[in-house]
Amino acid sequence: MDEKIRSILTEHGRFPVDVAGIEDDEDLFQAGMTSHASVNVMLALEDEFDLEFPESMLRKSTFETVAAIRAALVELAAS
């Protein structure tokens, strides 16, 4: 799962740094991801994992770190 998340972040996150060097708990927005890029990341995650983020998860904190994205995906997969 982490490999797919990082691949999507690399392709859609528009980071000025290599995503491989970003720690799981490092703030992705501080690393350079914009709010516009986060929407593209969200859409790519929905396509890749065949799910839809509910409105309750559409907040910055859901996409703030690799760990937060993983936790959201695990929660959605379990429901």
- The whole-number average pLDDT for the span 2-12 is 97
pLDDT tens per residue across span 14-47:
999 999 999 999 999 999 999 999 999 999 999 9
What's the chain's length in residues? Answer: 79
Spell out the domains of the chain, with CATH numbers in brackets: 2-78 (1.10.1200.10)
User: Residue 32 to residues 12, 16, 17, 55, 73: CA-CA distances in angstroms?
Assistant: 12, 6, 8, 24, 22
Phi/psi class of residue 32: alpha, beta or left (left: φ > 0; alpha: ψ in -120 to 50)? left
Residue 70 burial (CB count, 10 A): 14
- The whole-number average pLDDT for the span 51-71 is 97
Q: Are 19 and 35 a contacting pair, CB within 8 Å?
A: no
pTM of the model as a whole: 0.95
